[in-house]
Amino acid sequence: MLPIDSSIIRLIQFAIHEDLGTGDITSDLSIPREGTAAARFLIKQDGVICGLPILAIVFRSFSDDVNLELKVEEGAHLRSGTIIATVEGPAHALLAGERTALNFIQRMSGVATKTHEYVNEIAGTSARILDTRKTIPGWRLLDKYATTVGGAHNHRMGLYDMVMIKDNHITACGGIREAVERIVPDLRDRPNIKVEVEARSIDDVHEILQCKGVHRVMFDNFTPALVAEGVRLVDRRLETEASGGINFENIRSYAETGVDFISVGAITHSATALDISMKLFVPKQG
């Protein structure tokens, strides 16, 4: 379920203000204030629909008299031409909210669709797709929610909920062992915080396995053959993750190594918005 919290409400309000400014000059000059309208949301290409709860929040920001009827379920795999929802109410509210509503569900559906494509590509293996922090600033919760709708799993939400010792930390601390030994003792009172360490070579994997308190090793920019070697070396003593240089063309070869997780930045940073439109129509009478 989409976690509607204050940060998402603020994001929607910001988007509305960004678009509306001092008012919808076109509608103000052409449509009577008391006018009503009805509209359909139509998906124009195959994909996974995501972000439907946003629609009601956007339109009811303009008027409580807006009636929204969803025609599909969140996460549904839809064919081009499917009606997603209908909305009726004050014409000014519908037209003022149109672009903001579309921007949200097009972006979120695009992320969910791209994620689903990656998940399908590794079907039949034991690997799981992880998202990354390569999200639109301010959109972290929405982007990561959309990846789960597409079938992926969330990696850490930010810098605060998981320790990830990467190359720069290792360099700053003077080595892998030094970095782990500085961090792990201070986590005794925070058992829910997991520790992941980045390996840049098989030698690094050997060193990580000698450290206490590590939960996962990340094979960074390893070839599939090296990932397979790393997986055999770890032998289920730690969780394993492949990251870096992974794309749709090679992800299957990584998944077949037996690695537990594959992190893919492309599912968020390179997702293309799904084509969705809102068109007014004349509702049937009676």
Tokens standing for residue 228: 């397979």
Angle ∠(30,32,36) on CA atoms, nearest 5:
110
**Minimal CA–CA distance to 129: which of 119, 137, 139?**
119
In the beta sheet, which residues pair with residue 216? 196, 239
Query: Residue 186, exposed/middle/buried by CB under 10 A (0-12, 13-18, 19+)?
Result: exposed
Q: Across the beta sheet with 239-243, what order do the strands follow?
A: 128-130, 261-263, 239-243, 216-220, 195-199, 163-165
Residues involved in catalysis = 99, 134, 166, 198, 220
